[in-house]
Structure 1
Amino acid sequence: MSQEAIVLFAHGARDPIWALPAQRVAEEVRRLRPGTLVSVAFLELMTPTLAEAVEAAAASGAEVVRVVPLFLAQGGHLKRDVPALIEAVQAKHPACRIELVTAVGEDAGVVQAMAVYAAGAGGVASAD
């Protein structure tokens, strides 16, 4: 069985608090997949970058790195920018297979969870 790593890939923001939900997802993935290296990477404004996270996974012995975009849809970044980033890091680590999966927001279960949340008007935020 090959050693697998999962990189949760998010856009990034200037405010460090923005990354907390992605970190919570990473904690839950670690709970669900003990023994799997799980990290969070960002497209811009935050670190580590996707290349840095994949390189760290490869250096730790991962033979397969699954990149899971924490995006709502397959927009321009996921159609153009991210495949180019993966191609570049794949060239540096030919023994490591890097897989880019569909944006998490396009999964039927995620859509259902968002609909249930919206229908219940959960988490009403105050307008300061």
Structure 2
Amino acid sequence: MTRALVLFAHGARSAAWAVPFEKLRDLTQARLPEVQVRLGFLELMSPRLPELVAELATGGVTQVTVVPVFLGQGGHVMRDLPLMVEELRSSYPHIAINVVQAAGENAAVLNALSDYCVAALPF
């Protein structure tokens, strides 16, 4: 596989925090069997994004798409992630790295969350 989809999340001290992200990874991988779908973290969990891209590069991946699995584009997505990606692009010029908007900035994601919230009301 020469393509990878990286679900980029913050990370936490509790392993239980990652369970929904692991489920999202598994659901996405099932839909994209020809693509490596991986989790990468900013901090507190492994693999961190730089470690993951190094591993993907060693495995022959030439295209990486990073999906920030954040509800909003706060400092981590707007400041920390671009700095990391620029360093990675310098270190791995043979890999095309694309970063898309934070998941929570996407209309389809917001509509799905709204549907869930509306359904939560007892009628």
Does TM, normalized by the shorter one, top 0.5?
A: yes
| Contact residue 7 and residue 54 of structure 1 kept, 8 A | no
Alignment match, 1:26? 25
Following TM superposition, the consecutive aligned residue runs of length 4 or more in structure 1 with deviations greater than 3 angstroms are none
* Alignment gaps of 5+ in structure 2: none
Shift of 1:3: 2.0
State the aligned residue count: 121
Q: Distance between the aligned counterparts of 2:36 and 2:56, measured in 1?
A: 7
Q: Distance between the aligned counterparts of 1:120 and 1:34, measured in 2?
A: 32
Alignment match, 2:85? 86
C-alpha distance after superposition, 1:53-97 (max 9, x if no partner): 111112111111001100011111111111101111111111001
Shift of 1:39: 0.7
The secondary structure found in structure 1 opposite 2:120 is: coil
Identity among equivalent positions (%) equals: 41
Alignment match, 2:70? 71
> What does residue range 1-128 of structure 1 map to in structure 2 within 5 Å?
3-121=2-120
Q: Distance between the aligned counterparts of 1:28 and 1:14, measured in 2?
A: 24
TM-score by length of 1: 0.90
One-letter code of the match for 1:102? Q
One-letter code of the match for 2:120? A
The secondary structure found in structure 1 opposite 2:89 is: helix
* Alignment gaps of 5+ in structure 1: 123-128
TM-score by length of 2: 0.93
One-letter code of the match for 2:63? V
The secondary structure found in structure 2 opposite 1:120 is: helix
